[in-house]
A and B are shown apart, each in its own frame.
Chain A
Amino acid sequence: MKVVCRVPDRGEVELAELLRGLVAAPPGQPYADDVVELCQQFGARLMADPVARVHPELMTLGFFMRKAELARGKREHEAAARQDLVQVPAGLVFHVPPANVDTIFMYSWLLSVLAGNTNVVRLSSRSAPVVDHLCALLDELLAAPRHADARARVAMIQYGHDDAITAAISAHAAIRVIWGGDATVATIRRAPLPPYGRDLTFADRWSLMALDAATVAALAPAELVALAEQLFNDIFWFDQAACSSPRLCLWIGTGALVATVRDRLWSAVADVATARGLRPEVALRMARELFVHQAVLDGPVVGRTDYGAALTVARVDRLDGLSRAHPGGGLLFEAIAPSLASLDRWVTRRDQTLTHFGFARHELIELAQRLAGRGIDRLVPVGQALHLARFWDGYDLLAQLVRNVHVVG
Chain B
Amino acid sequence: MLDAPPFGLAQADKAARLVPVLDALTRHHRASCPAYRRLTDVLGRGDRPATTLAEVPWLPVGLWKSHRLVSVPDDQITTTLTSSGTTGQVPSRVYLDHDTARRQARALARVLTHVLGPRRVPMIIVDHGGVLRDRAAFSARGAGVLGMMTFGAQPRFVLDADHALDRAGLADFLARHGDAPFLIFGFTYMIWAYFYEQVRDLGLDLRNATLIHSGGWKVLAERAVDNATFRSALTAATGLTRIYNFYGMVEQIGSVFLEGDDGLLYPPTFADVLIRDPLTLAPAPIGTPGVIQTVSALPTSYPGHSVLTEDLGVIERVDDGDRRGHALRMLGRVPRAELRGCSDTHAAAVTP
Contacts and interface: CB of A to CB of B under 8 A. Distances in A.
Given A297-B67, A304-B42, A328-B339, A283 B334 contact: yes
Interface stretch (A7-15, A99-107, A375-383): A99-107
Contact of B345 (A181, A202, A284, A308): A181
Contact of A286 (B39, B42, B60, B339): B60
A239 B339 contact: yes
Contacts of A306: 280
Interface in B52-94: 59-60, 62-63, 66-67
B345 A293 contact: no
Contacts of B38: 296-297
Given A282-B334, A293-B63, 15 more contacts: A100-B346, A181-B346, A241-B339, A241-B343, A280-B279, A283-B351, A285-B279, A290-B352, A294-B67, A297-B38, A297-B67, A302-B42, A306-B280, A327-B350, A328-B339
Contact of B341 (A289, A292, A309, A328): A328
A66 interface: no
A376 to B, nearest CB: 16
Given A289-B60, A289-B281, A309-B279, A296 B39 contact: yes
Quick one: which of A238, A286, A327 has the most chain B CB within 10 A? Answer: A286
Contacts of B67: 294, 297
Contact of A294 (B63, B344, B345): B63
Interface in A101-159: 101, 104
B310 interface: yes
B101 to A, nearest CB: 25
B135 interface: no
Contact of A202 (B66, B308, B342): B342
Interface of B: 35, 38-39, 42-43, 59-60, 62-63, 66-67, 278-281, 291, 308, 310, 334-347, 350-352
B337 A284 contact: yes
A285 B278 contact: yes
Interface in A140-190: 179-184
A184 B43 contact: no
Given A296-B43, A301-B42, A327-B350, A100 B60 contact: no
Interface in A67-118: 98-101, 104
A304 B67 CA distance: 20
Nearest to A352: B342
B339 A290 contact: no
B342 A286 contact: no
Given A283-B335, A287-B352, A183 B35 contact: no
10 contacts: A100-B342, A100-B347, A179-B342, A180-B343, A184-B345, A241-B342, A282-B334, A287-B350, A290-B63, A297-B35
A279 interface: yes
Contacts of B345: 181-184
Contacts of B43: 292-293, 296, 304
A303 B42 contact: yes
A293 B39 contact: yes
Nearest to B60: A290
A262 B281 CA distance: 23
A98 to B, nearest CB: 5
A238 to B, nearest CB: 5
B342 A181 contact: yes
A291 B349 CA distance: 12
A401 B352 CA distance: 40
Given A99-B344, A180-B344, A304-B42, A293 B279 contact: no
Nearest to A296: B42
A363 interface: no
A243 B308 contact: no
Contacts of B291: 282, 286
A290 B342 contact: no
Contacts of B310: 286
Most buried by A among B279, B336, B341: B341
A205 interface: yes
A199 interface: no
Nearest to A126: B338
A34 interface: no
A302 B337 CA distance: 28
A193 interface: no
Contact of A287 (B42, B280, B351): B351
The 7 closest A-B pairs by CB, nearest first: A241-B341, A181-B343, A309-B279, A283-B337, A243-B342, A183-B345, A180-B344
A214 to B, nearest CB: 28
Nearest to B65: A290
A287 B337 contact: yes
Contacts of B350: 287, 291, 327-328
A204 B308 contact: no
A258 B32 CA distance: 36
Interface in A13-35: none
Interface centre among B67, B278, B344, B352 (most CB of A within 10 A): B344
Interface string A249-287: 000000000000000000000000000000111111111
Contacts of A297: 35, 38-39, 67
Given A290-B63, A290-B352, A304-B43, A98 B339 contact: no
Contacts of B338: 100
A183 B345 CA distance: 7
A281 B337 contact: yes
Given A289-B308, A297-B67, A182 B343 contact: yes
Contact of A98 (B63, B279, B280, B342): B342
Interface in A228-254: 238-239, 241-244
Nearest to B36: A297
A293 B334 CA distance: 19
A44 to B, nearest CB: 27
Contacts of A100: 338-342, 344, 346-347
A241 B340 contact: yes
Contacts of A281: 337
A98 B343 contact: yes
A285 B63 CA distance: 15
Contact of A328 (B60, B280, B334, B346): B346
Interface in A206-244: 238-239, 241-244
A379 B291 CA distance: 41
A104 B343 CA distance: 12
A104 to B, nearest CB: 7
B344 A286 contact: no
A358 to B, nearest CB: 27
A104 B344 CA distance: 13
Contacts of A309: 279-280
A285 B308 CA distance: 13
B170 to A, nearest CB: 41
Interface string A331-346: 0000000000000000
A100 B345 CA distance: 10
